[in-house]
Amino acid sequence: MAEIVLPALLGMVFDKLTSSVLQDFGCARGLNKQMEKLSSTLLFIHAVLEDAQKLQMLYSGEWDFGRVLRARYAIFSPSNSLATRIRMGRRLKAIRETLEMIAQERSSFRLSDGVITQMKRRPETGSFVIESEIVGRTDDRNGIVHLLIGTSTDERDVSVIPIVGIAGVGKTTLAQLVYNDERIERNFDMKLWVCVSFEFDLKKLMEAIIQCATKSRCDLLEMDILQSRLQESLRGRRFLLIMDDVWNEDHEEWEKLITLLRCGDGGSKFIVTTRNQKLALLTGTTSPYHLGGLSDDNCWSLFKQRAFGRGEEKNCPKLQPIGKELVKKCGGVPLAAKTLGSLMRLKRDEREWLFALENEIWNLLQCDDGFLLSIKSSYDHLPPQVKSCFTYGSVFPRNYEIIKEKLIHC
């Protein structure tokens, strides 16, 4: 997996390069031109990355940015003697050449100066679910349904219920179970499902809601017409709207949407699924429903569905105990259990299962798998300063005992 590169980190390196101490050092060693070129290259890459915070996995080629970071630390550390810094100075040229290569090949990153041209996103979700394949969510389903139908029908506002949980824990699946529950059918005039994902565009959301309500395509362009059409579609009807995979924290945009939805009949409800605790508190009119992980037994059931054919596990008695230990690596996350099960589907050699058990789950799953892609999208939405902390930590090798003062200095 490629190392993660951040503008904040490049800014820190640039500050080091332009410090008076290092400038004096460069003069003493005749490295001024190399340092000037390196600074110029860093500024260019910084400009490219400024608007690319959502595209962190920039390049999966042969260069290792972690190695560059470690060289930077060795060169710039004030604990080094002048003689040591002089010996390390020759690395500047190699670092500069590496960064120049990155700058020249920015088309490989699918980036241009300040523009993101392509971004991999989570597949759009819908309300359909195969209930027989879902395990361990009966209590959660009943809990959400009670929140939806257990309150008075003469409410004059839209109640917003956030379902919050980590990536892959099953928020969308729970929402699908609730959406298709027969009790919901009896208590609501209309059900609406909208997948939001990264882009919270009010006009597009309104169009999607109108299309769900009318079962016909909506090509209205003017905001005023959209607002009128939306209210016509919902007015006087008790509806349940589920907005899946929401990230937006803009309170003003939320208020605009909620205001439009108040045209529904009393008792209308609004479910938001999100990984963002802050957003859950911002949008909810009730306390967030925190969705926890599954038990190991339930994860084993999901794993078996993918790893074996129907009843086939009985023919693999040696693999079962290994598999049960393997699912403990999933930490109760259903998507991890299913992805891991799919990975083991064609493996029937006991040694292959033992190898999987002895390795970290992150080494077993590729980034394009749903599980890691889902987790990475959570990283993409962290504030820049928090992302920088991850990058600083990548300088240290695995299992390294990190000294707090050294980490802060780095």
User: In this predicted model, what pLDDT tens digit does every residue of 259-304 receive, in sequence order?
Assistant: 888 888 888 999 999 988 888 888 778 889 999 999 999 999 999 9
Residue 80 has a pLDDT of 56
Segment (H or E) for 330 = none
186 or 103: whose pLDDT is higher? 186
The pTM of the full predicted model, rounded to 2 decimals, is 0.67
Flag whether pLDDT at 119 surpasses 70. Answer: no
Q: What is the mean pLDDT of the chain?
A: 75
The beta strands (E) that lie in 275-345 are given as: 289-290
Distance CA 206, CA 223 (A): 9
DSSP characters over 102-118: HHHTGGGGTEETTEE--
Average pLDDT over residues 79-103: 61
Average pLDDT over residues 11-24: 49
Distance CA 395, CA 408 (A): 12
Distance CA 50, CA 69 (A): 19
Distance CA 343, CA 339 (A): 6
Distance CA 182, CA 131 (A): 13
What is the 8-class DSSP label of residue 192? E
The number of beta carbons lying within 10 Å of the beta carbon of residue 297 is 11
33 or 308: whose pLDDT is higher? 308
